[in-house]
Amino acid sequence: MSTSKNKPEVPIRERYLLNYYEAAAYFGIGINRLRELCRDPACNFVVTTGEKKTMVIRPKLEEYIAEHRYI
C-alpha cells in the first residue's frame, strides 16, 4: 500500500524548500544557470539535505533575485 495518497500536496508557492527543477520552473531560470548560482561559495539560498540532495530556500532566492539586476 502506497503512503503517497496520505501525503498532503503543498503548492510550490507555499513551500520553503524547492528542488532544482521546481525552483527553475517557479522563477523562470534555466536549470544550468540555477545550479551555477548554487555552486557559488557565497550562495546563502541553498541547503544540502542529504549526501546528494540539494534544495533551494525559496524566500532567500526571492531576495537574491530582487537584489540583483542580472542573474
- Model confidence, pTM: 0.82
The dihedrals phi and psi of 60, each to the nearest 5 degrees, come to: -70, -35
44 pLDDT more than 80: yes
Concatenate the DSSP letters of all residues of 5-26 into one string: TTSPP--GGG-SEE-HHHHHHH
Q: What is the pLDDT of residues 12-41, one digit of tens each?
A: 899 999 999 999 999 999 999 999 999 999
Torsion of CA 45, 35, 67, 58, to 10 degrees: -40
Task: Say which CATH class 13-67 falls into.
Answer: alpha beta
Domains in the chain: boundaries: 13-67
Q: What is the pLDDT of residue 30?
A: 96
pLDDT band at 1, cuts 50/70/90? very low
Task: Copy the grid coordinates of residue 9.
Answer: 500536496
